[in-house]
Amino acid sequence: MAGSLRFNHHFLTSLLITITITTLKSVHTATTTNTEFVKSSCKFTTYQKLCVTSLSTQSSLIQTSHKLMAHAALNITLASVKATSAMMVRLSSSQLKPREVSAMRDCVEELGDTLAELRKSIGEMGLLSGSNYEIYMSDIQTWVSAALTDENTCSDGFGGADMNGKVKDLVRGRILVIAHLTSNASALINHFAYIHG
């Protein structure tokens, strides 16, 4: 009886170890596949390194879906715009020249438009299907393109020698990152549209 219990205990322990190892291998394989999918998809973007670093953390959610890849890119861009807009609101209430405050407020307004356009795009991504696919995709592409234009307009407002160098560099640097994220999202959306169409 004692030998039988020992056998059962060893058998169950061995079975548990085998299941755990198999599960870990499966998870590792899926993670590797998902990460490789992100890397290969980012080859269609202009800013590939930024694409990989910003989307690799989302690889388990993206898996191997071009639609989820584009959706994640939009969400990451949206989060970056929100953070930058909040930073600029804080900056505009600090001791800046009137010209800088004006440019900052204009930029926050442009970023508000960008947020609205990205939110609309994210909403439409969830509705892409069947007969309405082409209409929704066209809207998404138009809104993302408009968001990029708004970001460029924001950055242009900080041109000129009368702007504080540190403020100008900080804002332009953040806007540049947003513009690159938006450009990447646009490329991934266009790639998804190409594959789907």
Total residues belonging to the chain: 197
> What span, in angstroms and rounded, lies between the C-alpha atoms of 81 and 195?
28
Mean pLDDT of 124-139: 86
Cα-based distances in Å from 153 to 48, 82, 184, 191: 24, 17, 18, 26
Domain ranges of the chain: 3-196
Share of the chain above pLDDT 90, in %: 47
Phi, psi of 190 (to 5 degrees): -65, -40
Instruction: Return the structure tokens found at 35.
Output: 């990460």
The residues, any chain, with a CB within 8 Å of residue 137's CB and separated by 6 or more, are 128, 189, 193, 196, 197
Closest by CA position to 171, among listed 112, 109, 87: 87
In the DSSP assignment, the letter for residue 158 is T
Mean pLDDT of 112-123: 95
- Specify the pLDDT at position 100: 81
Which parts of 38-104 are beta strand (E)? none
Rounded mean pLDDT of the chain? 83
In the DSSP assignment, the letter for residue 160 is S
- Give 161 or 112, the one with higher predicted confidence: 112
Mean pLDDT check: name the lowest of 35-39, 71-75, 79-83, 126-130: 126-130
Architecture of domain 3-196: Up-down Bundle (1.20)
Q: What is the pLDDT confidence band of residue 22, given thresholds at 50, 70 and 90?
A: low
Within 10 angstroms of residue 163's Cβ, the number of other Cβ atoms is 19
With 0.85 as the threshold, say if the pTM is over it.
Answer: no
pLDDT in tens, 61-97: 999 999 999 999 999 999 999 999 999 888 877 777 8
In the DSSP assignment, the letter for residue 130 is G
Which parts of the chain are beta strand (E)? none
Q: What is the pLDDT confidence band of residue 28, given thresholds at 50, 70 and 90?
A: very low
The residues, any chain, with a CB within 8 Å of residue 139's CB and separated by 6 or more, are 120, 121, 124
> What span, in angstroms and rounded, lies between the C-alpha atoms of 115 and 80?
10
The terminus-to-terminus CA distance of the chain in angstroms comes to 67
